[in-house]
Amino acid sequence: MKPMMSQGDAQLWMWTTAQLRTSGMSKHDIARAVGDGGLIRVRPGRYVRRDAHPDVAIAAALSGRLTCVSLLARRGVFVREAPDGVHVHVPRTASRTAAPDGGALHWRTLIAPAPTQLCAVSTLDALVHACGCLEDVDFVAAVDSALHLGLIRQTDLARLFGAVPARKKVLRRLVDGRAESGTETIVRLLAIRLGFRVEVQKWIPGVGRVDLLLDGWLVVECDSKAHHASWEAQREDRRRDQALAARGYGTYRALAEDALFHLERIQSALHGYRALGRMQAARA
């Protein structure tokens, strides 16, 4: 096969017959590639790689592109739960078709270009589409994640929030690309809603950066099993907690699973820490 592609997005590429012919492949070459299994014809005149992700085959068969949570999850952007079906962008000029089982079709005009041979919209457009499919907290977490990963830039936020519904534009003030995980964003937004003064990725001399610092004294670390499962990691956590205590800071380690599925547990804990802080202030 002669068409060139980005290795990072190799499983997302697709071609029309015209694109393959323009790349130098003859009709015989195309037929042979299909026969050999190097290409898969998902519909007349449209092809994907043999190792294409299944979602790509579905999107290409609809003459569309992956978008919204389907694409964000594939690019490593925070999505609370994997979508049940495929989210596909189709042009407004395309004939109306049914959405994939459990998925969704997005018709909104794209605001950022993507390679014509890529069966995916830009990350910026995927976020615009996700705004209508995600709860507000999860949408902010996805934007934070995309910023942190370098998939969008701060300068892209004007276009992003210029394209979302009017009632969603206020969410821009909550975006903070310093957040290192989606659960950190979720806990930060909870703390803001509860009235805490929140500092993100605060540097504390002798300790290092902490996820969140609330009201100047309570350090909140958002812990996941992936990064804190080993005894070595837990021992380091305890030593950090000791160093923080020696400097007058309290520490609360919020579990990622609670941030995702039992946020009320974290809310109750933060209420308790707030009461503790008031008691300490009253005694001072």
**pLDDT, mean of each 10-residue run, the chain (284 residues):** 50 90 92 92 91 90 93 95 90 74 88 89 97 96 97 97 96 96 97 97 94 97 70 81 94 94 97 90 78
Question: Is the Cβ–Cβ distance between 146 and 107 less than 8 Å?
Answer: no
The encoded tokens of residue 79 equal 């999505």
Distance CA 74, CA 181 (A): 16
**Model pTM?**
0.89
pLDDT confidence of residue 1:
39
Same domain flag for 90 and 127: yes
Q: 66 in helix, strand or coil?
A: strand
pLDDT confidence of residue 5:
41
Distance CA 201, CA 204 (A): 9
Which three-class secondary structure string do you get for 211-227?
A: EEEECCCEEEEEECHHH
Q: Identify the domain boundary among 158, 174, 190.
A: 174
Same domain flag for 192 and 70: no
Its domain, for residue 209, covers 182-283
Residue 193 sits in a domain whose CATH number is: 3.40.960.10
pLDDT confidence of residue 2:
40
Q: What is the total count of domains within the chain?
A: 2
Handedness of CA 148, 150, 152, 155 (dihedral sign): positive
Same domain flag for 194 and 252: yes
pLDDT confidence of residue 96:
66
Same domain flag for 117 and 138: yes
Same domain flag for 238 and 271: yes
Same domain flag for 15 and 118: yes
